[in-house]
Structure 1
Amino acid sequence: MANLAKKKFKIRLNSRNPMWFRRKIKTKTTKERKMNEKNNLAHESVKKKLKIAGICLLAAGLVCTIIGMADFFAAFNSEGERMPKLFFMCFIGLPLIAVGAGMLIFGFKREIMRYAKNESVPVINEAGEEISPAVKSVVTAAREGVAQEKTDKTVCSCGAVNADGSKFCKECGKALYSVCPNCGAKRDPESKYCNECGTKL
């Protein structure tokens, strides 16, 4: 019981001590860094092995395939009828070429992806530069159309939006405009003077 109480007391002290917590975080980060470094080293060593093995297998496969094909064509070109004896080397060489090529692809994958990125990004940027003016013109045309649509509508005093040319509000039925008795010009129902002749309404 006494040992258990001592352990609990130590845990409480450690949990209250911020320096202990910082040390714990530091040890964790250093451990993680070391683990990452180990993983990177292991990854690089595997890549190196893949590259070496891939080159060896590819070379061996090419040699076997060349020997088999050379023997095959030599048998046909010979004067007497002779069966090709080393043609089976092609069936050994072609799988070796495939395996070696696959290992090389995995070994040089980072370099291949980096090259593909460096080749594709400028093309995408150029395409974006060419497309951006057209996109801007479409956006401006859409904005102008929306603005024109807004200006073509008449707003009543009740807040309802009516189509241009409407005489009465579609919500409250109120007249949207009236005519000046002096000049016959259209006027707003709430205006006190005519906009055309200045007659008091």
Structure 2
Amino acid sequence: GGADGKAGIEGVAPHAKLIAVKACWQADNRSGPSRCNSFTLAEAIQSALEAHAQIINLSLGGPKDPLLTQLIELSVRKGVIVVGAVLPDGNLKAFPVGVPGVIAVDSARATNGPASDSAARVLYAPGHDILTLTPGGHYDFVSGSSFATANVTGTIALLLGLQPNLDARSIETLLDQTSGPSRQHVRVINACRAVEALHHTCVEAAR
């Protein structure tokens, strides 16, 4: 449940202010994958920039797109931290993770194979059987890099709340250096370790 005891989800950074911009839609309005296009995504990114968002979460992926690439490059130049999901095929040249400056996130797996040069720039976070809200006000378990990306975005918001002068590169380095093995995963971000690395106290909840 939510932090106030009501139905909902308590986020990783409960004091962060969310700017919800609808850029995608579901074909049957109930379930299944969402659909987006260049125009709706461009409008959403532009709206986020106009609202002075500090972080842009892109829990999606697709082919390279010149317009969207320019907008994300502009966002990065303005100091916005952009977090993007890695596609299921692991293509790091796809949008948005193929745009320089975007923090790429994939779902942590039970076993991550030998690290490659490309995988070295990917952050991993829990993304399997994540309990969340679904359309219609219901709860369900979901999986995928999109949900891992949301986890990393929330963690970054938490870290910015503690140290507002952090930039994308320093945050990515911090999360990478404080990541490590868990009971299920070989390498995954650890929000508590990252908080402690900023010289703040963190008490992990019982698991």
Bin the TM-score by the shorter chain: under 0.3
The TM-score normalised by the length of structure 2 is 0.18
Structure with more strand by fraction:
2
Structure with more helix by fraction:
1
The TM-score normalised by the length of structure 1 is 0.18
With a CA cutoff of 8 Å and minimum separation of 6, indicate the structure with the bigger relative contact order.
Answer: 2
Larger Rg: 1
